[in-house]
Amino acid sequence: MADVPLTLPQLKAQWIDVLYDLESTHRTAWIALFDGRLASLEDGVLTLDFVDATKMAGVHGYQRASKPSFLEAMADSIERVTGTRLVVTTTRDVDL
């Protein structure tokens, strides 16, 4: 049986578990990433949209959310919860 790729609706259904995992393994990454919106999942690349997060200052800033080590920690949590390895990227694109 061929592997079926993870879909955005499937990831959304497990997202709270992903966030719980990230919080328990890398709290600083969780603080930076928890308010990202699941914008798209295509060809193994998950894009988190932070357009609404730009309204907040400090720890919720977009630059911090784009930190490579935080994105890697998120990818690790997604893999632990779903069994699928994704590349995680961020955007502040209002047109997504």
pLDDT digits (tens, 9 = 90+) for 1-54: 336 789 999 999 999 999 999 999 999 999 989 989 999 999 999 999 987 655
How far is the C-alpha of 84 from the C-alpha of 19, rounded, in Å?
15
Would you say domain 17-91 falls under CATH 3.30.2220? no
pLDDT score recorded for residue 59: 42
pLDDT confidence tier of residue 82, bands split at 50, 70 and 90: very high
56-67 mean pLDDT: 62
Sorted by where each begins, the domain ranges of the chain are 17-91
Task: Tell me if 77 sits within 8 A of 33, measured CB to CB.
Answer: no
Nearest alpha-carbon partner for 60 in 29, 39, 93: 29
Task: Tell me if 20 sits within 8 A of 71, measured CB to CB.
Answer: no
Higher model confidence: residue 4 or residue 76? 76
Tokens matching residue 19 = 């966030």
